[in-house]
Structure formats: C-alpha cells, structure tokens
Amino acid sequence: MSNPNFDEAAQRELSKFLEAEQAKARLQQSIHTFCDLAFDKCVTKIGNKLDRSEEACLANTVDRFLDTSLFIVRRLEETKGSM
C-alpha cells in the first residue's frame, strides 16, 4: 500500500491495522456461518425468548462443530501416517 500521503511509519501502522480488522472480519464471518447452522439445529419453533435448552444447544453446536473439525484433521494425519 504505497501512498504518497503516508510516511513509512504510518503505512506500517495502517498495514497492521488492516491485518487486525481483516482477522476480525474473518472471525465474524465464521460466527455467521456457525449461527446459521446452529439456529437451524436448535431453534425449531419461534417463541418469545430462547429457553435454556436452546441456549445450551446453540453453544454446544459451536463447540461440537469445532471438535469435529479438529477430529477430522487428526484422523487425516493418522491415515497419512499409516500409508
């Protein structure tokens, strides 16, 4: 991002700032994906509030999805190891 308006220090700061904002945006995109998934799994009927079991289900969906992801990676590494 070379720009005649900003000196090297400012460019570096902007670069770091952009990197941080992009990391935040990636996190938020993941949250949207997980919420989409979890809402379908856990909130079958629209009520006046989320009950305790729906709240637990939403949180569990996120954790179990991530566990699944880690499991898949480990399993693939095991399989690679035995080839």
Partner 1 sequence: MSDFGNYGGGSMEAKKQQVMDQVRSELALANAQELINKINEKCFAKCVPKPGSKLDSSEQACISKCMDRYMEAWNIVSRTYINRVQRESQNMGGAGGL
Helices then strands, each counted (H, E), the chain: 2, 0
- Distance, CA of 43 to CA of 67 (rounded, Å): 21
Window 6-65: residues binding partner 1 (CB under 8 A): 6-7, 10, 13-14, 17-18, 21, 24-25, 27-32, 34-36, 38-40, 42-43, 46-50, 54-55, 58-59, 61-63
Q: How far is the CB of 82 from partner 1 (least distance, A)?
A: 21
- Distance, CA of 20 to CA of 14 (rounded, Å): 10
Query: With DSSP H G I counted as helix, E B as strand and the rest as coil, what are the percentages for the chain, rounded to 5?
Result: 80, 0, 20
Question: Which residues bind to partner 1, rule: CB under 8 A?
Answer: 3, 5-7, 10, 13-14, 17-18, 21, 24-25, 27-32, 34-36, 38-40, 42-43, 46-50, 54-55, 58-59, 61-63, 66, 69-70, 73
